Structure 1
Amino acid sequence: MMAAVVSSGNLRLRLLVACFFMLTAGRLFAADASQVMLRYSLEQLEAVTASAPLQTSVGQATPDQSPPVSKRGDGEETLKQLLQLAGKKERKIIEKILEVGEQTGKIKVAKITEKLSRINVPAVVELYRDVKTLKFTKLDAARIQRIQTRLGEIDATLAGKGLSSREAGDLAFFAGMARDRLAAQAADRREKERLRREAAASYEQSVDKLAGERDQASREKIADASERIVGLNYEFGNLLPLAPAKGNGRVLMTSDYGMRVHPVSKVRRFHTGVDLAGWKCDGWPVVAIGPGRVISSGWDGGYGYAVVVSHNLDDRNLFTRYAHLRKAGRPNAGAVVKPGDRVGLCNNTGVSTGSHLHFEIRRNSESGPSTDPKTYLPTIEKLK
């Protein structure tokens, strides 16, 4: 009797689960399939396209991706990529579709790729990457042209037919945000130029006034004025911290930011930076990626010989650490540096298995929370 009750309860539970799945799956795909993607942030979209680019059509890859992803199971490949974006409930549904979809043949997912193509995902992602870095990278002519090109592509998509009101609204909002950011950047540069002129005059007056003084406080004031001048004249980021000695070497990322198995301890732990290396990179110059002041230069435990630079930016304080350096060739603490200035030479000091540069960025202090350095660096090829 008890077994019959339990069996009956299990049957009801199974029926409820089956009904929930059918209803939710129906809403997921009967509705506009592109809404599954558009409800997630562009940061999430960028992460997926960076690791597994979405197809715009069969046999055609998104920019910077060669060869294209496999033609086999086009809808299934798209589902696997959407799986990385989905929330917990939707993820379970998509996983179930991947398990049984091929057997039942009842769920059609081919239209998802068509939707992704129609809203021009590559243009949106590329524009997002450019706009995201406008606040802390130099706005050169090439970058402006690329952003304008992407905006033109999105405008063309908006002018076309077939977009839902939600799709059009999302694209229009994002394009407007990009144009606002461009205008703000131009205004910010004009303000920086004004401040630079004022700071230059103040610096000259400070040097003249303190030229005869030799106490530490006077030297600090001159250093502060010098750091301000450098900060106003140079942008932060968009520069590789490891520079090939002869200019023609290839820099690779040998270990990414995030969880990994430590190469020495073999314990899974969080990697607070990125490791960069190249063929015979021992002795390659290591350079500052932005204007700032060296706050420490010396032995730093597992980091080996390391240099930490403080960057006092407009809206944030960042600290860059360059580790596993040679003992020689480092600037002294207090030195003011600009982008491209050498802060050391690549080596293998500290806890390390070979010559490389460990580069990390922290917020608020040199021991503050870390942030993904790739946000501030040009694209780096990963070691395969």
Structure 2
Amino acid sequence: MTVAAAGRRSYLDHNASSPLRPAVRGAMAEALDLTGNPSSVHTDGRTVRRAVDEARRQVARLAGATPAEVVFTAGGTEANNLALRGFAGRRLIVSAVEHESVLAAAPAAARIPVDRTGVVDLAALERLLAEGQGPALVSVMLVNNETGVIQPVAEVARLARARGAIVHCDAVQGAGRVPLDRAALGVDLLSLSAHKLGGPAGCGALVVAEGCHPDPLIRGGGQERWRRAGTENLVGIAGFGAAAAAALDAPGPDLAALRDGLERRALAAVPGVRVMGMGAPRAGNVTCLALPGVAGETQVMALDLAGVSVSAGAACSSGKVRPSHVLEAMGEPEDVAGSVIRVSLGWNSTAADVDRFVTAWAAMARRLVPALAAV
């Protein structure tokens, strides 16, 4: 009987979606008992409005923003689309390693190259800003979803603002994992998603600085200060607020220590393995491991049978396995890019999860790579 069949599993795919926190489940259950529309002026409506406003304050605290800056959306993808498509007439400049929801929202955008570790080339950004005509919007993520590499967003914002550009940052993978402060970063727009924090899927936010006015994607009502029409998703928003509060007040295990230990043991156990983005600043919860000669999807399936859940890169393409544009932008050859898995830790990860992963992964490598059979 496999470990998976016995029911003992280790979930190490938090960058795809993090399990619901107990406090979030409680907040959502309480919200389910509320009746009313937050736009209604009667007592029931005002009660619901207070619940939405409390969650808005909690999310604002996570983002280093004011509650008035928080616009609730249906997730990080919608937040990115609102930011990228909300300023008609501006030329768009995005990094080459952005999430697909940014790249697809701005298919004609100029792309900022990255170095071998995945960090944006600031000199190239300066050239792109100087060469184009008209005002720009620059979008650079805070933490890469595949490698965990942290981008120099504050420096990006300084260069962009000097040229009159609006700056957007996809902070979906950074919130709750690295310090986050919209004003300190110097950005005008900041995207967030609840389910990366242990909140519910289907709820996110775009933090919009005062004086910045993206055109709404969804029209039909005055909700969210006329920026996103439609009755607010009370249950999801309440869960988002609780997840934001928990990320700040109950951060959980030392994920960087767990991740660093995992990498040390993996590098020692399997000669030839590489850590993508090593050498650059990285968020402490994620590692991207390349095992040349073994396809990433093969590794994922073998680990799944051993009771460990990981990803072969990003998990946002409806199960499709395709070459990573992130690793391609970093200059990795196809054989290396195709041999990568992403291991991402979260609020309920333990040393036992790391042990189970390293044991299963090393055994798999020795089984599938002939040169390691005697190791």
TM-score range, shorter chain: under 0.3
TM, length-normalised to structure 1? 0.25
Give 1 or 2: higher helix fraction. Answer: 1
Task: Find the structure with the greater CA-based Rg.
Answer: 1
